[in-house]
């Protein structure tokens, strides 16, 4: 039986060039399905990776109780001082608590290629310890801002997506002028931010307190120790989360929305691809009806005919899926865009066409090829020999 399957499959595959137009329908249709599916989920994967990569396991972020994001949070100076001195906070090289009171303000910049429409962007006022708490953040051009001056350092993603963020330029935000003195890279969501001295930002934007406090944790039990102490302090109403847990949670809604959209679009396109495959494979079987009947007449069984037609359908599906994955990779992998995050500010991220997405796309194309080839294969295997010979 195996020899019969191989013989018929070889004949089928060798005849594909003679039927290239109809075969191309399957390949192009499935390439489109897989390319769209992969591109949509590559966007979600890139956004997720950017925010999931933000934060360290040995840091924690403290927000006002009940606040989901830094933008909704507010802590007065006394509360920030109590948080910094709490048990569970790691000491820095100077023997003082390694913590940074930080303030979030939304500003507006004009995108590259646009003329007047602005987009929200995060301005983060930080203490000096912010750099020690985020060693992954490196100044790649220029220098750090100086304390007491209206100077900014900008994330690499900001320079790619927005105008006027180059070193030496002056940005006007909320009626105040700020000079850009440096560019930094962190490889995470902070690449979408502008950083300034917290005290200068507070006085400029008329803010009295902070949005959050980022603290270094003292050992493996630092997070629990900090949570327990702040929870029992009657002067404070705060929530404490691991830094990675906080930023990873920011992608939850986006992942759900993109996952749902990718599912709906893929399902609709897959239905079209299945019907295209059905039509193509029915035409292929009809074209070779006499050939199949002759094989059956000289002793080839219906089973090998069915399997060989299925193999042809799956081969075409695999080629289409691989082509779609390649198109998605070439067009979208590391393609940089920005979208609104949970803070209603722009988060710059790059599409990520991962091996898992490519594999999933190929599986989808094979499933479509299986169902698209099943009925034509069944028909070819069950076709009466005399009827097929007369039809040919």
239-243, 258-262, 316-320: which has the minimum mean pLDDT? Answer: 258-262
User: For 11, which DSSP code?
Assistant: H
DSSP at 345 = S
212 vs 364: which has the higher pLDDT: 212
In the predicted structure, residue 253 carries a pLDDT above the cut 80 = no
Number of neighbouring beta carbons within 10 Å of residue 217: 23
Decide: pTM greater than 0.85.
no
**Least confident piece of the model among 77-91, 175-189, 191-205, 288-302:** 288-302
Q: Measure the CA–CA gap between 58 and 242, rounded to whole angstroms.
A: 8
Over residues 301-359, the pLDDT tens digits come to: 778 878 888 888 889 889 989 999 999 999 988 887 766 555 555 667 788 898 998 99
Task: Report d(CA 392, CA 387) in Å as an integer.
Answer: 9
The Cα 338–Cα 191 span in angstroms is 11
In this predicted model, what pLDDT tens digit does every residue of 189-233 receive, in sequence order? 888 899 999 999 999 988 889 999 999 999 889 999 999 999 999
- Mean predicted confidence (pLDDT) in 70-98: 92
pLDDT in tens, 36-75: 888 888 887 877 777 666 778 899 999 999 888 888 899 9
């Amino acid at each position: 039986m195996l020899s019969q399957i191989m013989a018929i499959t070889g004949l089928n595959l060798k005849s594909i060039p003679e039927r290239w137009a109809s075969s191309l329908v399957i390949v192009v249709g499935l390439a489109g399905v897989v390319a769209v599916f992969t591109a949509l989920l590559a966007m979600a994967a890139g956004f997720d990776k950017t925010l999931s990569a933000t934060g360290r396991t040995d840091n924690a972020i403290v927000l006002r109780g009940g606040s989901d994001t830094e933008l909704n949070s507010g802590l007065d100076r006394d509360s920030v001082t109590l948080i910094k001195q709490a048990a569970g906070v790691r000491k820095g090289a100077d023997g003082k608590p390694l913590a940074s009171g930080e303030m979030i303000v939304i500003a507006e910049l004009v995108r590259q290629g646009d003329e007047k429409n602005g987009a929200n962007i995060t301005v983060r006022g930080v203490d000096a310890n912010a750099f020690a708490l985020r060693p992954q953040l490196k100044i790649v051009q220029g220098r750090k801002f100086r304390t007491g001056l209206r100077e900014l350092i900008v994330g690499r993603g900001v320079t790619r997506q927005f105008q006027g963020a180059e070193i030496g330029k002056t940005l006007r935000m909320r009626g105040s002028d700020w000079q850009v003195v440096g560019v930094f890279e962190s490889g995470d969501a902070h690449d979408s931010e502008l950083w300034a001295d917290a005290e200068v930002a507070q006085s400029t934007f008329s803010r009295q307190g902070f949005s959050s406090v980022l603290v270094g944790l003292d050992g493996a039990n630092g997070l629990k120790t900090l949570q327990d102490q702040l929870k029992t302090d009657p002067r404070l109403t705060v929530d404490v989360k691991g830094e990675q847990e906080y930023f990873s949670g920011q992608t939850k809604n986006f992942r759900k929305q993109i996952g749902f959209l990718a599912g709906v679009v893929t399902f609709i396109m897959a239905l079209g691809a299945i019907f295209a495959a059905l039509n193509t494979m029915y035409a292929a079987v009809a074209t070779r009806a006499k050939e199949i009947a002759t094989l059956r007449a000289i002793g080839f069984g219906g089973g090998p005919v069915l399997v060989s037609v299925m193999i042809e359908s799956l081969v075409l599906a695999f080629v289409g899926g691989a082509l779609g994955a390649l198109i998605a990779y070439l067009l979208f992998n590391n393609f940089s865009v920005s979208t609104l995050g949970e803070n209603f500010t722009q988060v710059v991220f790059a599409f990520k066409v991962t091996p898992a997405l490519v594999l999933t796309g190929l599986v989808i194309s094979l499933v479509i090829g299986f169902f698209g080839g099943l009925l034509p294969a069944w028909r070819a295997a069950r076709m009466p020999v005399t009827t097929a010979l007369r039809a040919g």
